[in-house]
Structure 1
Amino acid sequence: MTMASASAPIEKKVKAASAATYLLSVAGLSILGAVTDNPSLVSSLPDGLEPFILALVPAASAAIAGWMAPHTPRSDA
């Protein structure tokens, strides 16, 4: 296994996953901010599970975006 050099470009998959995670996190926090007075969005969950379930949304978006984004070809040199 080789390490990427410091000057190697960032793969499209990493950029796509990072951008999707950021955007979906912002959207999720906006939605939660909007329903602060009516927390029915997460009220059905046990209190101890809420942060873990909510954290799955950006993690899933990163996984999906990374899977869907094309791989950046690189030379074997």
Structure 2
Amino acid sequence: MAAPSAPIEKKVKASSALAYLASLAGLAILGAVTDDPSLISGMPDPLEPFVLALVPAAAAAIAGWAAPHTPRSGV
């Protein structure tokens, strides 16, 4: 039987959300200043920045979850 997974810490959730919002803003600015805002031709244009912003957010979540954490005494 597989061991239960550890809960995701609040700092990892916060960093993932911030990475998502920052990349979303960056992609919105990129789309506004380029002549061709099509980033992925198979998707509807309004959906592209939201989907592409998930990539760095997922990377931040995975890295934060896999990073070693300092054990706390007395918790």
User: TM-score, normalized by length of structure 1?
Assistant: 0.45
Per the normalisation by structure 2, the TM-score is 0.46
